[in-house]
Amino acid sequence: MTSPRDVAVLVGSLRKESLSRKTANALVRLAPASLALEIVEIGDLALYNQDLDTDTPPAGWAAFRSRVGRAQAVIFVTPEYNRSVPGLLKNAIDVGSRPYGKSVWSGKPCAVVSVSPGALAAFGANHHIRQSFVFLDMPAMQQPEAYIGNAASLFDAQGQLVTDSTRDFLTKYLAAFSAWCDKIAPR
């Protein structure tokens, strides 16, 4: 029997009641047996500065790179700030991509779930982050796409999904992601 695929989940919001974090937690709970999702925290990563990227980089960078390096796939869950991804998430991408030639992202299958309280469902952020995947050599799942709009109405006070249609969609999304990972990186 094959062990579940290790999937790092990065959340692009620090807010306590973040809809992206609630969505990421729902993904963790809904993951099929073939995937082991774990949220990898990025809020304490120092801003990337090449001057600090020596033989002894900041401890937070080293720990982050080690954790993502062990992951077999990545899911990015992001809100949209100014039609793009939050700086927090872009910084994590930059930290993981350096030093040049030692990227922790290369070859890892990935997917994006964009989340918004509005109707556009963070469409801009979803597509903007995909531009980075091309350079990072991360094969991104194309279908199904995951744009979670009007997200404030999807969770109860405890952060649990309250809509069956969203739960069903995310379950199918994760099944498709598992199949995508098997296609891109067979075990």
Q: Where are the domains of the chain?
A: 5-184
Instruction: Residue 26: name the closest of 40, 37, 15 by CA.
Output: 37
* Model confidence pLDDT, tens digit, residues 79-113: 999 899 999 999 999 999 999 999 999 999 999 99
Q: What is the pTM of this model?
A: 0.97
| pLDDT value of residue 122 | 87
- Mean residue pLDDT of the chain comes to 96
How far apart, in whole angstroms, are the C-alpha atoms of residue 13 and residue 42?
A: 9
Q: What is the CATH number of domain 5-184?
A: 3.40.50.360
Half-sphere exposure of 28 (CA within 13 A, CB side): 17
